[in-house]
């Protein structure tokens, strides 16, 4: 059972090198917190990461919302990832035919493949999307988190869709870092990572369909890496808040592995 296995053990059975790295970072830094830096200015993002970088294992970006995106920002982001030992996840949620996705992955302004350790991908278009990312030439290791469930109210994902998504991933073990999902029953493979967003201590939802759970609850529900956005980013003191989430999450995980 993956839920009772410690991260350092799971690193040993991962077939994707990013999953391996991420499990090892979590075990070393004792944090399973991923911060979602949904800010629109590069300076704001870098300032925030300077404060919370030591407390997170993964930084999740939406680079297409940054007003002043530029290559210098990418350089600084990469330097910070090295300095604080975290990985970079671009939450691009690719959802098109393979050919288009391979262009979106490596071309345009963002050149995601050059700096992101991993990306998020929808299974909706079918297997071609994984084939495209798998064969995209890249100098660095890469990984995919496939969306098997969503946190938002009224989303159209059904149990059958979730099952078919997990099945689709089985053909690409070297590419798969894990799944974005909400429930432990979604998959069994201990080498894969359950990334769970929709977490906040303050409130149960926002006014645009986002639904929140508590940190304890999502760890119980199988989360391995937990995404917190506004719960930290919009708080008065992001550093204090990051430490608070980190501690609750790590305590919940420590309890979980005891069975
Ligand atoms: O089902 C999902 C999948 C994702 S990746 N629900 C989500 O909320 N997300 C992302 O997680 C979303 O795009 C946002 O960047 C983050 C949640 O942010 P928060 O401010 O609501 O914590």
30 three-state secondary structure? coil
Evaluate: CB of 181 within 6 angstroms of ligand 1: no
The pLDDT averaged over each successive group of 10 residues in the chain (259 residues) is 97 98 98 98 98 98 98 98 98 98 97 97 98 91 98 98 98 98 98 98 96 98 98 98 98 96
Q: Give me ligand 1 centre to Cα 198, in Å.
A: 6
Helix (H) or strand (E) run with residue 178 in it = strand 176-180
Q: Give me ligand 1 centre to Cα 203, in Å.
A: 15
Total-model pTM: 0.98
Catalytic center residues: 93
Q: What local confidence, expressed as pLDDT, does residue 139 receive?
A: 80
Evaluate: CB of 45 within 6 angstroms of ligand 1: no
Q: Backbone dihedral region of 125: left (phi > 0), alpha (psi from -120 to 50 degrees) or beta?
A: alpha
| Residue whose CB lies within 8 A of the most ligand 1 atoms, among 35, 151, 231, for a mutation test | 151
Q: What local confidence, expressed as pLDDT, does residue 138 receive?
A: 79
- Angle formed at CA 88 by CA 195 and CA 212, multiple of 5 degrees: 35
Ligand 1 atom 10 nearest Cα: 197
Give the pair of three-digit tokens for residue 84. Answer: 């604080």
Q: What local confidence, expressed as pLDDT, does residue 137 receive?
A: 83
Question: What's the rounded Cα separation, in Å, for the pair 127 and 118?
Answer: 18
* DSSP summary character for residue 259: -
Q: What local confidence, expressed as pLDDT, does residue 259 receive?
A: 82
- Token pair 């495209």 is found at 132
Instruction: Flag whether the ipTM exceeds 0.95.
Output: yes
């Amino acid at each position: 059972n993956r839920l009772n296995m410690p991260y350092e053990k799971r690193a040993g059975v991962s077939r994707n090198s990013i999953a391996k790295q991420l499990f090892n970072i979590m075990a070393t830094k004792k944090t399973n917190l991923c911060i979602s830096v949904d800010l629109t200015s590069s300076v704001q993002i870098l300032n925030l990461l300077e404060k919370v970088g030591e407390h997170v294992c993964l930084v999740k970006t939406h680079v297409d919302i940054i007003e002043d995106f530029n290559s210098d920002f990418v350089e600084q982001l990469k330097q910070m990832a090295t300095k604080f030992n975290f990985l970079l996840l671009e939450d691009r949620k690719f959802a098109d035919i393979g050919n288009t996705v391979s262009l979106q992955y490596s071309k345009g302004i963002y050149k995601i493949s050059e700096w992101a350790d991993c990306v998020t991908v929808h299974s909706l278009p079918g297997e071609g999307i994984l084939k495209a990312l798998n064969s995209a030439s890249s100098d660095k290791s890469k990984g995919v988190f496939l969306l098997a469930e969503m946190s938002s109210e009224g989303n159209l994902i059904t149990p059958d869709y979730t099952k078919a998504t997990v099945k689709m991933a089985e053909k690409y073990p070297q590419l798969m870092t894990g799944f974005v999902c909400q429930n432990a029953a979604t998959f069994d493979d201990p080498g894969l990572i359950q990334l769970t967003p929709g977490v906040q201590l303050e409130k149960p939802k926002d006014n645009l369909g986002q639904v929140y759970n508590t940190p304890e609850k999502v760890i119980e529900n199988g989360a391995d890496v937990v995404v917190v956005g506004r719960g930290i980013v919009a708080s008065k003191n992001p550093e204090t808040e990051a430490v608070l989430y980190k501690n609750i999450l790590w305590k919940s995980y420590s309890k979980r592995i005891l069975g």
